[in-house]
């Protein structure tokens, strides 16, 4: 899970202008710990979860706390990892059919539990242990956003920052009706963390996940399933995959695809990862081990935003916009942003999480139209769009920002 960053590609337009910070009011909502995962829109409530293993329901109007539920004492990793304590890291997901909000909490003994909470008052309706069946649970982290699909909650697992200990990436598919759990194991030879912070890409009959570097790192070794994009069915069975022909070299150099969540747009699955090489894939036939349809992209970390045939990639050196056709054509590069972008109110919103700033970008040019100081932010901080508001996790809770000046 090491966050290596490769040199990024050139661009057709380069936006570097930064206006002075906006005077727009930011409502800072203090909670009991950092909020790493993107808050979830529940209609009448917004759900945020902290590293102290507390789930909050917030008012969609002003962020005031409606209720809170503390689930367990969090885990404290030793000698590895960069989130301490480690509680709820992956973004929660709301199920409008059952009016439940789901979150995976890691307790003081490093057990990972999927809780289903009533959206009305936060009481626990269901819980299921989702410790992956391979590796040492103390070195596994549930970092990716949860995904709800076909009555199942999907939770992906990777390692701690630093690639320490023994772990194998995995995906749990939890049947919300029965509580039964099915597993996908990412690697036949260890590692292969599944940690990109966004959700899975949802297709018509499958979900798409990315897998990080594995222990197999020589072309003479059998392919171990890592440095890849996989398509899983509702029971977490692999039905298709893509891995670049360079998978062994990527593994050896920590330049895998696992840092970005696959994205669906304009009839393609789009993936980049750490190396700077992007790929356009056929959603119905990913291609196995192949060259794929490659394009010069960037080192990408997290989920992209999509508007029509334009994809906004979460590049480490700043958001890049690409028009997707038979090839990917870069439109612009906004060099000062490094978070996961979202589209709202006619703007692309993206953070510089190192500087604690949220930018509004013109979707046509990448020029900054607003700049808001949001406070200290966790890595890959992503605003959730809730009506005309943005709810952004911070190291102290949540910042609420209007999408209109």
What single string gives the DSSP state of each residue in 104-126?
EEEBTTS-EEEEEEETTT--EEE
Give residue 24's pLDDT band: very low, low, confident or very high (50, 70, 90): low
CA 94, 97, 101: angle at the middle one, nearest 5?
25
Supply the pLDDT for residue 163.
Answer: 87
Pick 5 or 205 by higher pLDDT: 205
Check pLDDT > 60 for residue 10.
no
Sign of the dihedral through C-alpha 162, 168, 169, 175: negative
Helix, strand or coil, per DSSP, at residue 253: helix
Residue 389 lies in a domain: no
Per the CB < 8 A criterion, the answer to whether 364 and 376 are in contact is no
Q: How far is CA 34 from CA 96, 339, 355, in A?
A: 26, 16, 16
Provide the 10 A C-beta neighbour count for residue 308: 10
Domain span including residue 102 = 37-196
Residues across the chain: 405
Cα–Cα distance, 263 to 284 (Å, whole number): 14
Residue 178 lies in a domain: yes
CA proximity to 358, closest of 377, 344, 343 = 377
Residue 336 lies in a domain: no
Average pLDDT over residues 90-100: 98
Per the CB < 8 A criterion, the answer to whether 298 and 8 are in contact is yes
pLDDT tens figures, 34-71: 999 999 999 999 999 999 999 999 999 999 999 999 99
Residue 144 lies in a domain: yes
pLDDT tens figures, 294-315: 999 999 999 999 999 999 999 9
Average pLDDT over residues 238-266: 97
Cα–Cα distance, 296 to 282 (Å, whole number): 18
Per the CB < 8 A criterion, the answer to whether 102 and 114 are in contact is yes
Greatest Cα pair distance in the chain: 58
pLDDT tens figures, 144-172: 999 999 999 999 999 999 888 999 999 99
Residue 164 lies in a domain: yes
Check pLDDT > 80 for residue 5.
no
Helix, strand or coil, per DSSP, at residue 55: strand
Residue 182 lies in a domain: yes
DSSP, res 135: B
Q: What is the CATH number of the domain that holds 114?
A: 2.40.128.630
Total domains, the chain: 1
Residue 28 lies in a domain: no
Cα–Cα distance, 151 to 155 (Å, whole number): 13
Residue written as token pair 């030793």: 78
Supply the pLDDT for residue 78.
Answer: 85
Supply the pLDDT for residue 9.
Answer: 30
Per the CB < 8 A criterion, the answer to whether 220 and 255 are in contact is no
Provide the 10 A C-beta neighbour count for residue 348: 24
Average pLDDT over residues 331-342: 96
Residue 56 lies in a domain: yes
């Amino acid at each position: 899970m090491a966050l290596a960053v490769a040199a990024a590609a050139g661009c057709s337009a380069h936006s570097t202008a930064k206006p002075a910070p906006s005077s727009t009011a930011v409502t800072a909502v203090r909670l009991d710990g950092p909020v790493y995962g993107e808050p979830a829109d529940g209609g009448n409530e917004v759900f945020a979860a902290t590293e102290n293993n507390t789930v909050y329901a917030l008012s969609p109007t002003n962020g005031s706390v409606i209720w809170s539920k503390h689930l367990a004492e969090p885990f404290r990793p030793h000698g590895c990892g960069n989130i301490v304590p480690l509680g709820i890291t992956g973004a929660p997901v709301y199920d409008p059919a059952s009016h439940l909000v789901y979150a995976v909490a890691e307790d003081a003994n490093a057990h990972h539990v999927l809780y289903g909470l009533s959206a009305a008052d936060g009481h626990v309706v269901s819980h299921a242990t989702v410790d992956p069946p391979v590796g040492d649970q103390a070195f596994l982290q549930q970092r990716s956003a949860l995904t709800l699909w076909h009555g199942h909650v999907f939770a992906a697992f990777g390692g701690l920052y630093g690639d320490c200990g023994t772990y194998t990436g995995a995906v749990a598919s939890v049947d919300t009706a029965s509580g039964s759990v099915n597993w996908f194991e990412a690697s036949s030879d260890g590692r292969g963390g599944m940690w990109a912070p966004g959700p899975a890409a949802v297709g018509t009959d499958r979900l798409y996940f990315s897998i990080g570097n594995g222990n197999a790192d020589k072309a003479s070794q059998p392919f171990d399933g890592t440095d890849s994009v996989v398509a899983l069915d509702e029971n977490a069975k692999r039905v298709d995959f893509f891995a670049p022909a360079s998978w062994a070299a990527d593994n050896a150099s920590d330049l895998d695809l696992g840092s970005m969540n696959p994205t669906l747009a304009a009839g393609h699955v789009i993936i980049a990862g750490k190396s700077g090489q992007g790929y356009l894939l056929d959603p119905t036939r990913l291609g196995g081990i192949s060259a794929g349809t490659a394009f010069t992209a960037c080192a990408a970390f997290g989920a992209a935003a999509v508007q029509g045939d334009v994809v906004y990639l979460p590049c480490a050196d700043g958001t890049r916009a690409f028009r997707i056709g038979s090839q990917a054509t870069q439109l612009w590069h906004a060099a000062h942003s490094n978070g996961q972008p979202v589209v709202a109110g006619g703007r692309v919103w993206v953070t510089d999480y190192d500087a604690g700033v949220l930018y509004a970008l013109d979707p046509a040019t990448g020029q900054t139209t607003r700049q808001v100081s949001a406070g200290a932010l966790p890595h890959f901080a992503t605003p959730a769009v809730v009506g005309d508001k943005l709810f952004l996790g911070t190291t102290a809770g949540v910042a609420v920002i209007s999408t209109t000046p």
